[in-house]
A and B are shown apart, each in its own frame.
Chain A
Amino acid sequence: MSSLHSRSLARVALLPAVSLLLIWMLVPLCMTLYYSVLDFNLLIPGENDYIGWLNYEFFLTDPAFTESFFNTILLVGGVLLITIGGGIGLAILLDQAIWGQNYVRLLVLAPFFVMPTVSALVWKNMFMNPVNGLFAHLAIFFGAEPVDFFSQFPLLSVIVIVSWQWLPFATLILLTAIQSLDREQLEAAELDSAGPWSKFVYLVVPHLSRAITAVVLIETIFLLSIFAEILVTTSGGPGYASTNITYLIYTQSLLQFDVGMASAGGIVAVIIANLVAIVLMRLIGKNLEG
């Protein structure tokens, strides 16, 4: 088989996947771009006039945008901090000689497989409900006032639920990475009388950097678009206290039917995600070499 032949065959084999993804990316994105400069509301039929940057201006100067922008940062940052911090700690613990290590790992991993709507509703109703939730029962048992989590700390409550879903993932990836750490290196460090802290800083953390990068990348992709957890718990409220950008655009498009403004918002979300992606791809591209 000539290499020329196989090369063209290879190109043909790539075609379906590449063209489908290209269409899936470009066509709707161009349509969003087009809608974003129109005065287009599904509830107000008629001409959809060209209005230039007006939708963007309205979207970006809306206080709701500022609030949901910072909520998005807090949500992504908070969950990353909790899951990676907790994940490193748990991974190191699970890496020790313990009884039934495999079963512990199964228990820790379980929440990752629970669908978002289930975990959000279970937490909201059965744990965080101020009257019948388990936390309320516990608070009363200890003589404290039950907390109404979703009206007092709406964003924090969402962060807790999402962290519970993603901690297992971070732990599993980091544990797998730690287990591939060269034991001889650790022993050599011990012989050189390195303490646990310096072993952690000079051996474990550098070894984990690749795995941490992977966790940050994957979690960020999913966390930027958190939606179901907000929809079934707080519906973004009270006010906009737990609205992220994804949820804000959802309310503008499918609840208020303001296609123009929601499209402008969608484009803004794409730009933000791209900025994040460029940074992450640089990191992961470097770390995935070889």
Chain B
Amino acid sequence: MQKTQSKIIYSVLAWSIAFLIFFPILWTVLTSFKTEAEAISSSPSLFMFDWTLVNYEDVLSRSPYFLHFTNSIIIAVGSSLIGLLIAIPAAWSMAFAQTDKTKHLLMWMLSTKMLPPVGVLIPIYLIFRDFGLLDTRLGLVIVMTLINLPIIVWMLFTYFKEIPKDILESARVDGASLGQEIVYVLMPIALPGIASTLLLNIILAWNEAFWTLILTAADSAPLTAFIASYSSPEGLFYAKLSAASAMAIAPILVMGWFSQKQLVRGLSFGAVK
């Protein structure tokens, strides 16, 4: 009896708090289906309003939304893929040929992540200006690859470290070459780890909002920068702001929900599993 009672209390409490935390997102999605007048109404309604798609039509037709969406995809996916290509050999080497220096090297990589972006802001800005990289996708892909590289290496390292080394040795005894060893033995085991690393880094790069705001203008701006342009005065059009926001966060929210387990492991640098 007492068990059911506490279950009811805990459930109600947990659901209420969860609802409150989620509410701003729910509210944004609901507002995106309202008219502008209803969106700022002083007696707002949760569900009882005239649902409309006009805001989505407006955002898509009156602004280059598709361009910014494409930019986000190119920058997030591109930088994550390039980052993987560079990080896989490094993580493989650190996991399978550990030396006394490996730990220091990992710590050093983590420390580059701690370098505040303002410490390198001006040189990067001036170099980008001189090389014509300002407001280009290429420029952002480069920066995003470099700032996420330490996290990619770390995540892959924690996955690779758990692959039993005996497997590789027995493959070697069976006469497998290094290439065969990597392709037929290592890759299949490592693939889930690589996939979740990729997923997480796409999420991180998609939401990055320092360099994307500083190094882009009209052409290469991803969604983070495009939404920032709503800060005034368009931001006062709540329904349109909501529609643009809902489309910007939906794909990543879904991806994030699917990768929550990997998120814990990846972002805690393997400290929590």
Interface residues of A (CB under 8 A from B): 1, 6-7, 9-14, 16-18, 20-21, 24-25, 27-29, 31-32, 35, 90, 93-94, 96-101, 104-119, 121-127, 132, 134, 137, 140, 164, 167-169, 172-173, 176-177, 180, 210-211, 213-215, 218, 221, 224-225, 227-228, 231-233, 245-246, 249-250, 253-254, 259, 262-263, 265-267, 269-270, 272-274, 276-277, 281, 284-285, 287-288
Cβ A10 vs Cβ B24 within 8 A: no
User: Told that A9-B93, A121-B235, A126-B238 touch, could you supply 7 new A-B pairs with CB distance under 8 A?
Assistant: A17-B149, A24-B120, A98-B15, A117-B224, A180-B273, A266-B120, A287-B271
Across chains A and B, the number of contacting residue pairs, with CB separation under 8 Å, is 302
Q: Which of B21, B116, B127, B206 contacts A225 (CB 8 A)?
A: B116
Cβ B150 vs Cβ A21 within 8 A: yes
Determine the main DSSP class of A at the interface with B: helix
Cα distance, A213 to B119, chains bound together (Å): 25
Cα distance, A118 to B249, chains bound together (Å): 8
Determine the main DSSP class of B at the interface with A: helix
Q: Which of A21, A97, A107, A134 contacts B18 (CB 8 A)?
A: A107
Cα distance, A7 to B98, chains bound together (Å): 9
Cα distance, A257 to B194, chains bound together (Å): 42
Interface residues of B (CB under 8 A from A): 3, 6-7, 10-11, 13-15, 17-19, 21-22, 24-25, 27-28, 31, 40, 42-44, 86-87, 89-90, 92-94, 96-97, 105, 107, 109-127, 146, 149-150, 153, 172, 178, 203, 206-207, 209-210, 213-214, 223-225, 227-228, 230-231, 235-236, 238, 241-242, 245, 248-249, 252-253, 255-257, 260, 263-264, 267-273
Report 12 cross-chain contacts, Cβ distance below 8 Å, ordered by A residue: A29-B115, A31-B126, A93-B14, A97-B3, A100-B15, A108-B17, A109-B260, A115-B206, A121-B231, A122-B24, A211-B268, A266-B120
Cα distance, A214 to B271, chains bound together (Å): 7
Cβ B253 vs Cβ A250 within 8 A: no
Cα distance, A186 to B105, chains bound together (Å): 39
Cβ A20 vs Cβ B149 within 8 A: yes
